[in-house]
Structure 1
Amino acid sequence: MSSSLPSPALPAPVDARHLQRRLTGRRFLEWIIQSLLFLCALASILTTLGILYMLASETIYSANPDDPAFFQQVSLAEFFGDTAWRPNFEPARFGIWPLLSGTFLITTIAGFVGLPIGILSAIYLSEYAKARTRTWVKPALELLAGVPTIVYGYFGLMFVTPYIINPLFSQLLGFEVQGLNALSGGIVVGLMLIPMVCSLSEDALRAVPRSLREAGYALGSTKFDVSVKVVVPAAFSGIVASFLLALSRAVGETMAVAIAAGNRPTLTLNPLESTQTMTSFIVNMTMGDVSAGTITYKSLFAVATCLFLVTLVMNVISQWVMQRYRETYQ
């Protein structure tokens, strides 16, 4: 009695035309996805070019002789050589330095407040905090980042400023502090920078390979030594990039400084005096009664151009630092 094994099932014949249609459909779908991604990237480029065209046409050169640009009426020597900014008074003066000094003064104060607290918070979350602590501290920081800037401005006006103008504080300084001041605006902006610095720096610290930490522990280092001497230098590029991006946001902050720091353009380095930044000038002037086409109206675009160039330079420096100090780990 003979038994035979069942013959294996033969694969169904492949329809060459059906396979070709599937390949063609996949290629078409990939082309659609690639085109959509390209259009998204192109939209950001076109938006930037549109901003540059708008600023240049109102600031640098206008082909319409009846509507000249700002620098066709005000010379660069006056713009960068004068030390007074009075576009609403006669005679009008358009020296940008009071607005630049106010912007960098508040940015410097914000950096001294936000950067140390942000990096120390990032080191704690990355190296010291337990998983349960991180699960509620990180969302709390992200919630702080989502608070509207105008709320920070009123927080500085109603909470920070009264402590600064307190008579006891004035006695310690030796002179009286009155009204709005740059210190209050800088502290508020510094508080706004903490979530950004902490989040970006913590991501950079956690990206450092575990093997580097274990090598430090194997040499007898403490957790503090490993954190400060191994992890932080390894994540240096990401940390510096977070610092520069945070300072770029401080330069471009509007409502918080407009409410807390005042609106008096003064060429000063005293943080206890009222000052005005480039962004607060723009928002104050646009909220006022400014006629389109006037030299005061054109000055808004000149200040916006300076602000654009400052943030552009800071972002370029940030990219250079990331490329210069980026470490590659195998």
Structure 2
Amino acid sequence: MPVIWLIVIVLALAAAGFILGRTRAMQSAGGDSRHLHSLPTYYGSNVALKAVVPAMLLMVVWLVAQPFYVNGVVSGMIPDSAIADGSSRGLVLAEVRRAADGLDNAVAQGAISEEFARNARADFTDVTTRLKEAGQIVTTQITQPVLRAAQEYRVINATGNMIMSGVVILVALLGVFWGLRETNKDFRARNVVEKSVMALLIAAASIAVLTTVGIVLSLIFNTIEFFRLYPASEFFGSLTWAPSFGGGSELGVLPLLWGTFYISLVALIVAVPIGLFAAVYLSEYASKPVRSFAKPMLEVLAGIPTIVYGLFALLTIGPMLLSVFGPDGTGWMGGQRAVITAGLAMGIMLIPFVSSLSDDIINAVPQAMRDGSYGLGATKSETIKQVILPAALPGIVGAVLLATSRAIGETMIVVLGAGAAARLSLNPFEAMTTVTAKIVSQLTGDSDFASPEALVAFALGMTLFIMTLGLNVFALYIVRKYREQYD
């Protein structure tokens, strides 16, 4: 049974339990709610919570634990001879899971039958061809041990999901009966429900923390796996980025880091002055009608998808720059994809980040400081330069650093506007690429996922994560340490 239908059934049982619990509470009070300890709604909510919470917790634990069990069983089916040199059992298991998911999707699409997917005598070459025709991502060739393990993986998963569905529904029913049994006019339903809701709120607040931990652990484990196959000294020390799934790759991260910083620098050169000047104008010079129109229009830029900025860079900015700096002009620019193309588009995207945050920070400066400056004979421009901006500077610096971390993590604008060349160069009219663009290229296409050329994406992601995390922490430190407190 699909998980979504299982959730619907549990919620339906909870709704029925709510109605039954409320009715039973009213019956125990002789139809007069004044004889109840709590409102009738609390009695119904108590039954509903006892049906939903244990069942959902069991389902979550089951879904988390089942893959570990299945991986342990399937791992024993893979002989050591099936693990190629330069690979590992973990990478082969990842390919097994990918093949199993491909079989599931192909069956759902009708590309292959369930009988064919489970056929132990199926030819692995034929299976590989059919999965690729169905649009599933697999390696160049599924081997016979991987196919057999994938088929067993599907069978065990299907059996586990069926057992899970029955057990979860049973637990939900037991929860309904438990809640109904303790329902009577003297039961303190409100106290129980409020404590349960508090626990649910704490759990919801913990999801963000646990998600972050999960992302970090995923990056760490796959990065460790990569460095087992590829030397860390060459990754951080090589000046060449030349991946080759056939072998002999040079995976130096320095050209990618340079492209990331260079494109981000061009973007900040565009975004910071324009965004800061716009913030000063909107907060200090613009009338209320102008501000009420200009500020929302400026912030619309933040809502435009980045793919649109990428197309704008490719179809508008690039040709425009090529007409000025290309072969017919100065001859500096050889193609429309270049650092300056992506940097200009990204800078336009970052303007609302800088302007909106800076505007809020400038407006937070107390009016008394402005009035004191005017009282001493300073002009408006002198007040802005010598009073307002120094007072708001820590916040402005924090806004710029946050915009920098946003620029470092950008992908689509770089892919469409900057090209794919990994090089170390100071020429802004040359094509370059970034860490995020190469993460995309290494994990798409017909790739061998049991290889360092694919796992390098996780090492790149870990490097980028540490960089952006450091910038965000530094921005928060600047804002908190140097923020002025006004009464």
Match of 1:225 in 2: 382
More helix by percentage: 2
Q: Contact 1:103 / 1:276 at 8 angstroms: preserved in 2?
A: yes
TM superposition shift of 1:88: 2.0
Q: Contact 2:333 / 2:430 at 8 angstroms: preserved in 1?
A: no
Q: 1:175 to 1:138 in 2, by over 3 A?
A: closer
Q: Contact 1:163 / 1:169 at 8 angstroms: preserved in 2?
A: no
CA–CA distance in structure 2, aligned partners of residues 31 and 101 of structure 1: 53
Q: Contact 2:323 / 2:329 at 8 angstroms: preserved in 1?
A: no
Q: 1:115 to 1:35 in 2, by over 3 A?
A: farther
Q: Contact 1:85 / 1:96 at 8 angstroms: preserved in 2?
A: yes
After superposition, the C-alpha distances for 1:139-183 in whole angstroms (9 at most, x for unaligned) are 111211101100001101111111222255667656453341111
CA–CA distance in structure 2, aligned partners of residues 168 and 208 of structure 1: 44
Comparing 272-281 with 24-33, which one deviates more in the overlay? 24-33
So what's the TM-score if we normalise by structure 2?
0.59
Q: Does 1:296 align with 2:466?
A: no
Match of 2:315 in 1: 158
Match of 1:215 in 2: 372
Q: Contact 1:156 / 1:185 at 8 angstroms: preserved in 2?
A: yes
CA–CA distance in structure 1, aligned partners of residues 471 and 272 of structure 2: 16
Aligned length: 304
Match of 2:212 in 1: 48
Match of 1:316 in 2: 473
Match of 1:82 in 2: 238
TM superposition shift of 1:316: 1.1
Alignment partner for residue 424 of structure 2, among 264, 267, 272?
Answer: 267
CA–CA distance in structure 2, aligned partners of residues 145 and 244 of structure 1: 17
Q: Quick one: which amino acid aligns to residue 454 of structure 2?
A: Y
Q: 1:267 to 1:220 in 2, by over 3 A?
A: same
Comparing 172-181 with 85-94, which one deviates more in the overlay? 172-181
Q: Does 1:71 align with 2:227?
A: yes
Question: Which structure carries more relative contact order (alpha carbon 8 Å, separation 6+)?
Answer: 1
Q: Does 1:139 align with 2:303?
A: no
CA–CA distance in structure 1, aligned partners of residues 419 and 366 of structure 2: 47
Alignment partner for residue 59 of structure 1, among 219, 223, 226?
Answer: 223
Q: 1:32 to 1:195 in 2, by over 3 A?
A: farther
1:171-320 equivalence runs, <5 A: 173=330, 175-320=332-477
Q: 1:265 to 1:227 in 2, by over 3 A?
A: same
Percent of paired sites with the same residue: 41
Unaligned runs of 5+ in 2: 1-34, 40-187
CA–CA distance in structure 2, aligned partners of residues 29 and 217 of structure 1: 59
Match of 1:12 in 2: none
Unaligned runs of 5+ in 1: 1-17, 61-68
- Specify the structure having the higher radius of gyration (Cα): 2
Query: Secondary structure of the equivalent of 1:200?
Result: helix
TM superposition shift of 1:286: 2.7
Query: Secondary structure of the equivalent of 1:153?
Result: helix
After superposition, the C-alpha distances for 1:95-145 in whole angstroms (9 at most, x for unaligned) are 101100000000100010001100110011111111111111111112111
CA RMSD of aligned residues (A): 2.3
Q: Contact 2:299 / 2:352 at 8 angstroms: preserved in 1?
A: yes
CA–CA distance in structure 2, aligned partners of residues 204 and 176 of structure 1: 40
Q: Contact 1:84 / 1:267 at 8 angstroms: preserved in 2?
A: no
CA–CA distance in structure 2, aligned partners of residues 27 and 324 of structure 1: 43
TM superposition shift of 1:323: 1.7
